[in-house]
């Protein structure tokens, strides 16, 4: 039988190429090979009290992003966390067995304390975040949770919650999941060469309009001052790094030779008409992005223009999710003595 995997994504701002190459594309590849669950962690998003209208928009945005990039909602169970009350119900049962020491040691809580945030401003939701995350996973008898290194501690808390619960209420109540930690997650560089991140303002957005994308690539990406006609350094160059993660091997090799020779046609003449400089490299990347992402960009716009359809897909997903979570919650309610 296929292993059951689960991925949770927080609805945050406009998705960028770093999110796509570093998180979305690998998750989609895994989803194809497993019995997969994918959900929008909208309750988790509340811990930073976003503006209601923005949150609503971002939930649609993240749903449309994943669907446009290839989630198959017939195969993957794709839902919104807040549509599955079994999750929050289970979270309470877990709260009642998890020691507070574990939560006090959680990075997100410690970070908030370390930043000298007024105690009044640290919300219980942030403190309890790992409990809700444990419930996200344990409510579905998940076998494996693929996550980045930053989520390792949350997975340990999840495992601990399941073990504690089983110890008190009997083996087999909750399935202890495995973490699949990708130690060498690729870090996609942004326009300034640092990690691409919304917080650095150095992103290339996935779903901005065409003109904006071309402008960000051509004007935004910083390159060195190699003279036109001389070889370009591909190592550590944002343009080449992104190009190589998207193009097929033949095109990558052709691009590498252009970089190495500084010529459009590497075997062609030493003539300014045949020079290959940063402007050309950026033009090639912009073309590649438009070509590779074109269908997803069109699909994203189509989905965002039809909220009713998104609502319907999410409603179907939550029905499927609840059908799985309901008996698991009932099993736990019975184990603790709240059901006969």
Among candidate residues 3, 10, 175, 195, the one labeled active-site is 195
The enclosing H or E element of 181 equals: strand 178-181
Alpha carbons 228 and 234: distance in angstroms, whole number: 15
Q: Whose Cβ is closer to ligand TRP: residue 6's or residue 321's? A: 6
Q: Starting from the edge strand earliest in sequence, which strands make up the sheet with 144-147, in order?
A: 77-80, 35-40, 4-9, 144-147, 178-181
Is residue 198 flagged as an active site residue? yes
If contact means CB under 5 to 8 A according to the sort of partner, which of ligand TRP, ligand ADP, none does residue 238 touch?
A: none
Burial of 192 (0-12, 13-18, 19+ CB in 10 A): middle
* Sole binder of ligand ADP in the list 188, 214, 286, 314 (CB under 6 A): 188
Least distance (Å) from ligand TRP to the CB of residue 159?
A: 12
Is residue 33 flagged as an active site residue? no
Alpha carbons 108 and 154: distance in angstroms, whole number: 10
Asked if residue 18 binds ligand ADP (CB under 6 A), the reply is yes
Among candidate residues 10, 152, 175, 198, the one labeled active-site is 198
If contact means CB under 5 to 8 A according to the sort of partner, which of ligand ADP, ligand TRP, none does residue 112 touch?
A: none
CA 292 to chain centre: 19
Asked if residue 197 binds ligand ADP (CB under 6 A), the reply is yes
If contact means CB under 5 to 8 A according to the sort of partner, which of ligand ADP, ligand TRP, none does residue 86 touch?
A: none
- Residues that contact ligand ADP, how many (by CB under 6 A): 15
The enclosing H or E element of 35 equals: strand 35-40
Asked if residue 236 binds ligand ADP (CB under 6 A), the reply is no
Contacts of 289-296 with C-beta under 8 Å, sequence gap 24+, read: 289/17, 289/204, 289/213, 289/217, 289/242, 289/246, 290/210, 290/213, 290/214, 292/246, 293/206, 296/68, 296/69, 296/70, 296/206
Least distance (Å) from ligand ADP to the CB of residue 202?
A: 9
In the structure encoding, which two tokens stand for residue 242, read together?
């992104």
Least distance (Å) from ligand ADP to the CB of residue 55?
A: 15
Least distance (Å) from ligand ADP to the CB of residue 69?
A: 13
Q: Whose Cβ is closer to ligand TRP: residue 4's or residue 44's? A: 44
**Which residue number is nearest to ligand TRP in terms of Cβ?**
8
* Sole binder of ligand ADP in the list 195, 251, 256, 331 (CB under 6 A): 195
The enclosing H or E element of 79 equals: strand 77-80
Alpha carbons 235 and 248: distance in angstroms, whole number: 18
Site string for ligand ADP, 138-177 (x = CB under 6 A): ----------x-----------------------------
Residues that bind ligand TRP (CB under 6 A): 6-8, 10, 41, 44, 133, 136-137, 145, 147, 151, 154
C-alpha torsion sign, points 23, 27, 30, 32: negative
Is residue 195 flagged as an active site residue? yes
The binding site for ligand ADP (CB under 6 A) comprises 12, 18-19, 22-23, 148, 185-188, 195-199
Which residues are catalytically annotated? 115, 195, 198
């Amino acid at each position: 039988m296929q292993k059951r995997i689960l991925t949770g994504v927080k609805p945050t701002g406009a998705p960028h190429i770093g999110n796509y190459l570093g998180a979305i594309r690998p998750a989609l590849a895994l989803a194809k090979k497993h019995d997969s669950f994918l959900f929008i962690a909208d309750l988790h998003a509340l811990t930073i009290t976003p503006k209601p209208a923005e949150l609503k928009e971002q939930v649609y945005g993240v749903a449309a992003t994943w669907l446009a990039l290839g989630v198959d909602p017939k195969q993957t169970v794709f839902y919104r966390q807040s549509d599955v009350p079994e999750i929050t119900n289970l979270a309470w049962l877990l709260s009642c067995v998890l020691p507070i020491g574990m939560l006090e040691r959680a990075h997100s809580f410690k970070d908030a304390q370390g930043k000298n945030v007024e105690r009044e401003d640290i919300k219980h939701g942030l403190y309890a975040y790992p409990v809700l995350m444990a419930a996200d996973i344990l409510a579905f008898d998940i076998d494996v949770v693929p996550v980045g290194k930053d989520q390792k501690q949350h997975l340990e808390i999840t495992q601990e919650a399941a073990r504690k619960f089983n110890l008190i209420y009997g083996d087999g109540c909750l399935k202890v999941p495995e973490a699949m930690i990708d130690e060498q997650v690729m870090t996609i560089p942004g326009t300034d060469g640092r990690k691409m991140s919304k917080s650095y303002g150095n992103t290339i957005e996935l779903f901005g309009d065409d003109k904006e994308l071309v402008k960000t690539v051509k004007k935004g990406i910083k390159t060195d001052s190699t003279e036109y006609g001389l070889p370009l350094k591909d190592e550590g160059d944002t343009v080449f790094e992104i190009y190589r993660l998207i193009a097929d091997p033949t095109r990558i090799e052709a691009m590498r030779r252009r970089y190495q020779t500084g010529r459009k046609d590497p075997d062609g003449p030493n003539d300014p008409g045949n020079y290959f400089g940063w402007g050309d490299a950026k033009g090639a990347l912009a073309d590649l992005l438009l070509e590779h992402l074109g269908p997803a960009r069109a699909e994203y716009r189509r989905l965002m223009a039809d909220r009713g359809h998104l609502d319907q897909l999410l409603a179907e997903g939550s029905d499927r999710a609840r059908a799985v979570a309901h008996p698991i919650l009932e099993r736990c309610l019975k184990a603790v003595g709240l059901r006969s």
